[in-house]
Amino acid sequence: MDASLIPADNNLAVMAGLTAIAAAGFLLEKTKFGALLTGTVWTILLAILASNLRLLPFDAPAYGFVFTYAVPVLIPLFLMKADLKRIFFETTRMTGAFLIAAFATLVGALVAAFVLPLGEHEVGIASSLTASYVGGSVNFAALTDVTGLAETAPGIVSAMLAADNMASAAYLGVLAILPGFAFIAKRFVKRDHTAGEVEESGEASEGRATPLSLGLTLAYALIVVAVGDFLTRLSGQPQLRYVIITVLALVLPTAIPNRMAKLHGGFELGVVFAFLFFAAIAAGANVVQLVTNAPMIIAYIAILLSIHAGIAFTLAKFCKLSLPEIIIASNAAILGATTAPALAAAKGWRDLVTPGVLVGVLGYALGTVLGTLVFSILG
């Protein structure tokens, strides 16, 4: 263990440090300046700063606790409203657009891995970024655990997080300005997406969280993970842990969506755990290693996103999708369910706001599966 102000074996103090960093990320996101970087980026930067200033250790048992227990709980928390029947049948065209985007990510990840060899951690990098660029942070976290990167190469994961945030921000900017280019817009089917009501997305529109709902929500998530771990042990295939947990997490939301809708607070709890994960993984980053590894990872992500965009927009054109539909689908895949409805609302595509949320949730369901597929192919 490395020397730091907070000793690595002081688990409570280390967890307090991680929680404080996560809380600071939430607070900074509320400020005008902080919102420019988002709470996720602030959490990562603060954790890297804390460990490299020797306030937090680079490695600690508490980080392992987060990786082992907090990360899998993210899956049922984020999928509590994932009614697959609704996703497939109420948003048919957007579902198709998202599946195209997911396929484009899969191809991009594989081609980029062959074009730009990344050494001994190539399989982990490719599969984790595939999961992230189909689903989101929960899927990224799952694959870093499956591949062992979270435990064996935290510096690599931190470099991936930093590069991912930079590339994602740039990609979002590109998506936002695409409709302004007439020579691109005219190649796609024209549809009016300004009709319909803008619905609040996420947990905000689903009711107020109470101590009872929070307790039931957390109990449900823990039970799903416990049953998933039991079935994983029975299968003898530990690499399928997150796939099994994902399948289990989709059963009740799809079978009894109305009852599951009454459980509030899952999204908020999931975001808190996600920020703890970001803090834990970023705290393991040695700046020297970060600088050494980030350029290659940035190049890999650039190739992946370029191929993703090329395939997604080309297939969308031939499948008679509108430009806004594939933009929101690509956004939902690369940046997740939260930014997709925000971009749709900002662009005035009001009837794509709710579909953007729903296909983003579909991404949470598919991200770990496709990430595991890449892990199997390259591994």
pLDDT tens column, 22-81: 999 889 988 887 776 667 778 888 988 998 899 999 889 999 888 888 878 888 887 887
Residue 215 DSSP one-character state:
H
pLDDT of res. 351: 78
pLDDT of res. 318: 93
Residue (of 30, 281, 33) closest to 155 by Cα position = 281
Q: Give the distance, in angstroms, between the CA of residue 266 and the centroid of all CA atoms in the same chain.
A: 16
Cα–Cα distance, 40 to 165 (Å, whole number)? 8
Greatest extent of the chain over all pairs of C-alpha atoms, in Å:
61
Mean pLDDT by 10 residues, the chain (379 residues): 82 95 90 74 85 90 87 83 72 90 96 89 93 88 86 82 78 83 88 59 56 91 94 85 83 88 83 84 72 80 96 94 93 82 76 78 88 91
pLDDT of res. 90: 62
Residue 193 DSSP one-character state:
-
pLDDT of res. 355: 80
pTM exceeding 0.75:
no
pLDDT of res. 170: 79
Q: What three-state secondary structure class fits 65?
A: helix
Token pair recorded at residue 98: 């998202």
Q: Which residue has the tokens 């599966």?
A: 369
Cα Rg of the chain, angstroms: 20
Cα–Cα distance, 189 to 320 (Å, whole number)? 6
Rounded to a whole number, what is the distance in angstroms from the first to the last CA of the chain? 30
What b/e sequence results for 267-280 when a residue is b if at least 16 CB atoms lie within 10 Å of its CB, and e otherwise? bbbbbbbbbbbbbb
